[in-house]
Structure 1
Amino acid sequence: MPPVPGRIAHARAALDHRQLRGALRLQPARARRVHLAAGLQAGLGALLALGLTHLSPWPTLAGFAALGAMTTLYGRFDPLRARLRVLGVVGLLMVGAIAVTSVAVLCSSGLAVPLVVPLVVVGIVAGASTAVMVYLGIGAPGATIVVFGAGASLGPVGSLADVGQRTLAGISGALLAVVLVVVTDRLRPRVLVPPAPPGAPLPDVPDGRAIVATGVRVLVGATAAGLVAFAAGAQHAAWAAIGAAAVLQGTHLQLHVDRALQRALGTAGGALVAAGLLSLGLDFWPTVVVVAVLQVVTEVTIGRSYALGQLTVTPMALLVSELAAPSGGAGLPLERVADTLLGVVLGILATVILSTRAQRAQHHP
């Protein structure tokens, strides 16, 4: 039996220039109608969640309603009943992330360093939601959207009433997603077969120990990324945790590195797109339309290339954040992309450091 390479040798092999070129290669178009239907559902969900909440007596909660509605992104290849169960689980995770993180912010407001505990909670949310999704076999986009919901909840919280309002907004968005998926299910083809990209590794059959290990890896990596970013003076440390959590999902080191590279390039380009859009000074309704269009484009392109998907999902997320908490400046996207890229780098380091001998042996038989 050949010797199992160490962590440095494993990372060097994963970062080989031929592997990096492969990570940027466009995949053949597969299941286009399924992706288009998911995009239309996601775009319509964002449009309705943002618009209806803006017209309600609680317009400042539009961002949290939109987060709940983003559960439409899940289960696109599942039959309707199975997909509704997936939406229910992801909706509970999203609402729980919003509520728990908001409570952490409220309880930490009197501390000398109030953001540390909420950042740890974001890491816990990342690890727990990843473990739940691995256990239940819930696929893309994985726990990243739930972690984004936790990160978006780090804004100031004045009282338990504020926590309740955020939570109810998230619930309303998740319920809207369920109704929307049921009503528009005919947009999807009757035969739903998830695409298998060329050269993709075979999926692992998770056992209890592997599930726990995956959750712990994401928890440690996301928490460390958030705290390091905060200690470095980052203005949006939660985005570092989001970047690390996205990289750490899955069990294959090469997939981690590929995804990290694609996320870095797509996020950087998407931040520049967002900066340009914010510089236009769009009013609320034009911004909502842009967010909806970006949702559709993301779902249509992400099957071909994760980087292309990130190029549109990043400005979408930044615009939603701007609607929830206006910054008044075009520097917001560039600050957040720097924090996200820091999280990506820390996520790669955590992937290598926390890799097990069995994982390294799996990729170097």
Structure 2
Amino acid sequence: MKMLAEMFTMAPGNKDHQVAVRCAVGVFVPLITLLFLGRLDLAIFASFGAFTGIYGRNEPHARRFGLQLRAGALMLAVMLLAGLTARAGVALALSAAQALWLQVFATTLVAGVCSLIVAWWRLRPAGSLFHIFAFAAIASIPNQPSLWQGMLVAVLTVAFSLLVGMSSRVVRSRRTPWVRPARTPLSMAEKRAALLESAGYLVAAGLAGTLATLAGERLGFGHNYWAMVAAVVPLVGHSTRHRVSRGLQRIVGTAIGLVLLAGILLLQPAPWQTVLVIAACQFGAEMFIARQYVLAQIFVTPLALISTLLVVPAAPGILLRDRIFETVIGAAVGVAVVLAPTVWRRLRARPGA
């Protein structure tokens, strides 16, 4: 009962509207620019480059800049590796099934390595959810756009996000002293926790990707990386109950978000309206992501799927079906990974075990 109550409890705000505006502007300006240039095929690079603005939410300007610079550099590396992985599949003349398994394997490595880097750099949000999403989404594009053009868009978007992150310095009352924060090395306990968390990301992402791919081959579902993204959601939390709750919230929020998405798609928005919807969803997601995860997911779901449709058109019905199917698989795997250590300890504690 307490877990159910927590799922629908709204935490107090903390200047969330300021972060939400920055993130919305950070994604809207690059996308609308690409629309005017007739290059929405590069929109996915702008969308993920704009994730730079998510980091350093309410930090002083100097620390925010450092965190966002690191986050942006890591995201650029992930996008570059994704483009190279897709091209490696073509160069090796892999079949569609082989290329899919290559993507699962590579995405699993990205999940573990990026989780470790994020912990080492003390970035928040923690974990490698965004990096899994960015890598797999780009690597799975069937007709890859020019890599140098995509990376140019990504670099410019990251630079713009850094500029937006510093924009409040023009207001004297909002300006914080530019003091470089002291580097505090991770303690041994923190290093062990980072390594264990990284292992959890490897297991959860790899298992979810494997199950989703096998199920997709037999049942005709696609977008297996959505299961990998959903699987790592429960890994972030301060307690087992909180982590399990996040997994359930992911499913509930996604289901409601799909209803919202269906309504948006029924309106058949023009490309410029689609860009506005993406910016609005980005605003809504950042407004509530730290306060109410179910509500945030209602915005995240159409944000993710509409961004995908800009680059890889698909039948809306198939997209909605795949999203809920992959989310359930991923969330179930993530919850299982969270509960596994507790179950193991209890089994070992039994008399005669």
- TM value normalised by structure 1: 0.82
Q: How far did 1:358 drift?
A: 8.7
Amino acid at match of 2:28: L
Deviations 1:38-67 (A, max 9, x none): 000111111112111222363310121121
1:128 pairs with one of 92, 113, 134: 113
Q: How far did 1:283 drift?
A: 0.9
1:45 pairs with one of 16, 22, 26: 26
2:333 pairs with one of 346, 356, 360: 346
Aligned to 1:194: none
Q: How far did 1:25 drift?
A: 3.3
In 2, the alpha carbon distance for the partners of 1:114 and 1:244 equals: 21
Aligned to 1:256: 243
Query: In the alignment, is residue 66 of structure 1 matched against residue 47 of structure 2?
Result: yes
Query: In the alignment, is residue 318 of structure 1 matched against residue 295 of structure 2?
Result: no
Matches within 5 A, 1:13-28: 18-28=1-11
Identify the range of structure 1 (148-157 vs 312-321) with the bigger mean alpha-carbon deviation.
148-157
Deviations 1:68-112 (A, max 9, x none): 012211111211111111111111221122121222222123223
In 2, the alpha carbon distance for the partners of 1:83 and 1:155 equals: 32
In 1, the alpha carbon distance for the partners of 2:343 and 2:65 equals: 35
Tell me the secondary structure at the aligned position of residue 316 of structure 2.
coil
Q: How far did 1:119 drift?
A: 1.3
Contact 1:23–1:262, Cα closer than 8 Å, also in 2: no
Aligned to 1:224: 207
Contact 1:44–1:292, Cα closer than 8 Å, also in 2: yes
Task: Provide the aligned length of Structure 1 versus Structure 2.
Answer: 329
Contact 2:232–2:334, Cα closer than 8 Å, also in 1: yes
Aligned to 1:177: 161
Aligned to 1:138: 123
Amino acid at match of 2:298: L
In 2, the alpha carbon distance for the partners of 1:175 and 1:239 equals: 28
1:75 pairs with one of 33, 36, 56: 56
Aligned to 1:209: 192
Q: How far did 1:155 drift?
A: 2.8
Shift of the 241–264 alpha-carbon distance from structure 1 to 2, 3 Å rule, reads: same
In 1, the alpha carbon distance for the partners of 2:291 and 2:238 equals: 21
2:151 pairs with one of 158, 167, 175: 167
Aligned to 1:30: 13
Across the aligned residues of Structure 1 and Structure 2, the Cα RMSD in angstroms comes to: 2.7
In 2, the alpha carbon distance for the partners of 1:248 and 1:65 equals: 27
Aligned to 2:83: 102
Shift of the 66–185 alpha-carbon distance from structure 1 to 2, 3 Å rule, reads: farther
Query: In the alignment, is residue 265 of structure 1 matched against residue 252 of structure 2?
Result: yes
Amino acid at match of 1:167: M
Amino acid at match of 2:23: A
In 2, the alpha carbon distance for the partners of 1:218 and 1:80 equals: 31
Q: How far did 1:36 drift?
A: 0.3
Amino acid at match of 1:30: G
Q: How far did 1:189 drift?
A: 5.8
Q: How far did 1:359 drift?
A: 12
Q: How far did 1:333 drift?
A: 2.4
Shift of the 251–133 alpha-carbon distance from structure 1 to 2, 3 Å rule, reads: farther
Identical amino acids, percent of aligned pairs: 25
In 1, the alpha carbon distance for the partners of 2:211 and 2:337 equals: 13
Aligned to 2:320: 333
Shift of the 205–307 alpha-carbon distance from structure 1 to 2, 3 Å rule, reads: farther
Q: How far did 1:294 drift?
A: 1.5
Shift of the 155–36 alpha-carbon distance from structure 1 to 2, 3 Å rule, reads: same
In 2, the alpha carbon distance for the partners of 1:311 and 1:141 equals: 21
In 2, the alpha carbon distance for the partners of 1:273 and 1:54 equals: 24
Shift of the 278–57 alpha-carbon distance from structure 1 to 2, 3 Å rule, reads: closer
Shift of the 207–300 alpha-carbon distance from structure 1 to 2, 3 Å rule, reads: closer
Amino acid at match of 2:117: V
Contact 1:128–1:215, Cα closer than 8 Å, also in 2: yes
Matches within 5 A, 1:353-364: 353-354=340-341
In 1, the alpha carbon distance for the partners of 2:11 and 2:29 equals: 32
In structure 1, stretches of 5+ residues that fail to align are 1-17, 192-203, 361-365
Shift of the 143–62 alpha-carbon distance from structure 1 to 2, 3 Å rule, reads: same
Aligned to 2:183: none
